[in-house]
Structure 1
Amino acid sequence: MYILGAILAFSVLVIVHELGHFTLAKLNGVKVEEFSLGMGPKLFGIKGKETEYLIKALPIGGYVRMLGEEEKVSDARAFSSKSPVQKLSIIAAGPLMNFILAILMFAFIGSIRGFALPVVDTVDKDKPAYSAGIQNGDKIIMVNNKKIKTWDDFFTEVYLANGSTMNIKLLRNGETKSIDVTPVKDTVENRYIVGIRPVLLEKPSFGQSVSYGFTQTKTIIGQTFSVLKTLFTGKASAGDIGGPITIIKVSTKAAEQGIIPLMAFAAYLSVQLAIFNIIPFPALDGGWIFLLLFEIITRKKLDDNKVGVLNYIGFAILMALMVVVVIKDILYPIKL
């Protein structure tokens, strides 16, 4: 039951993403030939007026196939016949919808259960924050010269510090204080802590909830790029990255805890899906965006057939990587 809930949650993210492409394609007069949820062998489909709606065997993504997307077609309704700006709006709509969905979901979650503020509620005695002089009511505004907008921003900086001394700027009674704190390892939770607990805003207003949705999404975007940076600099291992099986496992655990935790994880995944898709790699939305921006800036028309071949190659590489990640998930699963 919980696994079905996890698969359903991920499917919603894919549907919303592809619905963005589908809607903008229709608005720009492009013929959509297929709208697929899932990849691989076809399970079943429904033929509409001009679009076939499919459900496929592998719940690892989806796609919208448009006329003239992979090669030049002499048809006014072909994707290849549209202007670079029109094409860009169609391609960018997918990731944009995932960002919007995340904002709305986080806003809803915040309105239901409240959220933590980057303001100190209590300070644990005999912990680094207490020794450094941090007090109840202090507002954390910056850590290591990085602005802090949410409690998760602060939590992330503690994680990235990895036990190194942090410079924390606080707002106390209208005055800015600068304090150095060195996190210590919590043996119970197996992570670094400084020993403070945040203020919880239990009943936020509509505006505060929406603002939380925006800031939380922005925070996760920043966290994601920070993790990618540690991965490329060798500070993190590729073994810490999970694939579809890991996603389902984590989603299932979230579903076991209730609808709100599952929704929170789905919102997090929605941001990840958007970021993954804007990577400038062939076959991904980001690859298209890069090429279309090149066309717009240089005003040089790219060969549609060559772009199609490039996307075929990119898709093949992505599928190969997906197989590798799935095998890794099976043989070397991440401990949850």
Structure 2
Amino acid sequence: MSAIITFIIVFGVIVTVHEFGHFYMAKRSGILVREFAIGMGPKLVNFKKNGTTYTLRLLPLGGYVRMAGTQDDDDEIKPGTPASIAINDQNVVERINISKKNPYVNDLPVQIVKADLVDKLEIVVYENGDESQEKTYHVDHDATIVEEDGTEVLIAPRDVQFQSASLLNRILTNFAGPFNNMILSIVAYLLVAFMLGGIPEAHTDTNQVNIAPDSAIQKAGVKQNDRILEVNGKKTSTYNQVQKAVASNKKKQVELVVKHKDNVRQIKVTPQKQKNSDKKLIGISPKTTVDRSFGAKLKYGFTQPFVIVATIIGILGNMFTTGFDLNQFGGPVAIYSLTSQVSTQGIISIISFIGMLSINLGFMNLLPIPALDGGKLLLNFVEGIRGKPISEEKEGIVNLIGVAILVTLMIAVTWNDIQRFFIH
């Protein structure tokens, strides 16, 4: 249960912060944010403030910001749709209700013939079931529409739509989500640094090593900060030399010459297979000391996210030389598996996990893949070079291809994760 709760909180925080970036910048740019949703699926509760409807949805995974005029925002009302309308004293429509869940007893029942809620702001209807005469009403610029699921949002006139904002503001709005993830990651790692009270520093210029608990090398009797003088007959004076010699070992056991204080002895270590991995390790890492200075803590918070980004870039770069490997990716199943481990290790580990996931989400979203923020930014830059936007049809096709690629990849990654974490 603790793993499930932690997973919901971690995922919720990261996605909400990401979406709030888009939300904030869209508001600043004059783009109408029709809905800010936390969670997915059926609506549980909602309230409206400053033109935006805030909803909490059933499935506590993900969330979204629905901006007027974007691909996922559709206000088209099909001819023949039964509805009811609220009309003010000036005979102007203030609310259109196409939901059967939210009846308004004082509204006028109509059947919609056609509606233009973008440019003309007009609606043509048959009133009270009388199809002998059409009647046209003007729709208020700030009118609302109650959608089929009962969510009431503002209509989306052309002047407040995403494409009506300047190119710079659209670029900033698309970039704001990943940017917020970067900020969250920095804040998380700053918290970790100050909660720990200091930053461990690895020393690879010595053959003294750190020993992992319950590792193969600990079981062989090697103590913390012992020196490894030789690996399989090769002299080693630095950690990098030790690590390289161990990694190149082809035997069942690794033969080490170890110095503990003034005592030198030979031992044999059998590498252990790691959980959820095919790698066999003996359980060493570089000797570490702790830097408790304010500057070290501050530096860690600002640099650790970019260390992770560099690692991701290295992994993606290796795919061009070593080939595509699904094991380098992780979906919701992998995140849940990692969360279940982290949830037992305390609040500092959870905050660190949030920092790691947040920068991962932010960076991966910036990849120039259609349907991701990076793909949208690429289209923005293409528009800037061409001097005019790509047609909606072409943009829709590009996004459809991107969605198909992402869905296919997600299915493959999820199945691979299930096999890695639960079947093997």
- Normalising by structure 2, what TM-score? 0.61
- Secondary structure in 1 aligned to 2:228? coil
Q: What is the rounded CA distance, in whole Å, between the counterparts of 1:275 and 1:162 in structure 2?
A: 33
Over residues 147-186 of structure 1, what are the superposed CA-to-partner deviations in whole Å (9 max), with x where a residue is unaligned? xxxxxxxxxxx69x99369xxxxxxxxxxxxxxxxxxx97
1:187 paired residue number:
271
Where 1:256 maps in the other structure, the secondary structure is coil
Give the 3 Å change call, closer, same or farther, for CA 335–268 of structure 1 in structure 2.
farther
* Residue of structure 1 in register with 2:13 after alignment: 12
User: Which structure shows the higher strand fraction?
Assistant: 2
**Aligned mates of 1:195, 1:19 — CA distance in 2:** 39
Counterpart position of 1:126 = 228
1:270-285 residue pairs with structure 2 within 5 A? 270-285=358-373
Q: Which has the higher contact order (CA 8 A, sep 6+)?
A: 1
Which of 294, 301, 304 in structure 1 is aligned with 2:382? Answer: 294
Uncovered stretches (5+) of structure 1, i.e. residues with no partner: 136-142, 144-157, 166-184
Aligned partners of 1:302, 1:328: CA distance in 2, in Å?
Answer: 37
Cα distance change, pair 43–162 in 1 and its aligned pair in 2 (3 A): farther
Distance 1:31 1:266 in 2: 30
Match of 2:39 in 1: 38
Gaps of 5+ in 2: 75-117, 120-157, 210-225, 250-268, 275-279
1:1-336 matches, within 5 Å, as 1-2=1-2, 3-39=4-40, 41-49=41-49, 50-70=51-71, 75-113=158-196, 114-119=198-203, 122-123=208-209, 124-127=226-229, 131-134=235-238, 163=247, 187-188=271-272, 190-191=280-281, 196-201=286-291, 203-205=292-294, 207-234=295-322, 237-333=325-421
Distance of 1:240 and 1:15 partners within structure 2: 26
State how many pairs are aligned: 294
Aligned-residue sequence identity (percent) comes to: 33
1:59-91: per-residue Cα shift (whole Å, max 9, x none)?
443221100112896522110101111100001
CA distance in 2, matches of 1:58, 1:214: 33
Aligned amino acid, residue 55 of structure 1: L
Give the drift of 1:108.
Answer: 1.2
Distance 2:23 2:48 in 1: 14
Q: Pick which of 42-51 and 84-93 moved more.
A: 42-51
Return the index of the structure with the highest Cα Rg. 2
The superposition leaves residues 30-56 of structure 1 with CA deviations (integer Å, 9 ceiling, x where unpaired) of: 1011222333x2242313133232334
Conservation of the 8 A alpha-carbon contact between 1:163 and 1:192: no
Specify the alignment match of 1:181 in structure 2: none
In the TM superposition, what whole-angstrom CA distance separates every residue of 1:232-281 from its partner, at most 9, and x where no partner exists? 43367313533101201211210111111111111100011011211111
Q: Distance in 1 between matches of 2:166 and 2:303?
A: 34
Q: Deviations over 1:283-336 (max 9, x none)?
A: 110100111112223423222343234324423442343334333333443799
Q: Which amino acid aligns with 1:100?
A: I
Instruction: Determine the C-alpha separation between the residues in 2 that align with 1:116 and 1:270.
Output: 22
- Whole-Å separation in 2 of the counterparts to 1:197 and 1:236: 34
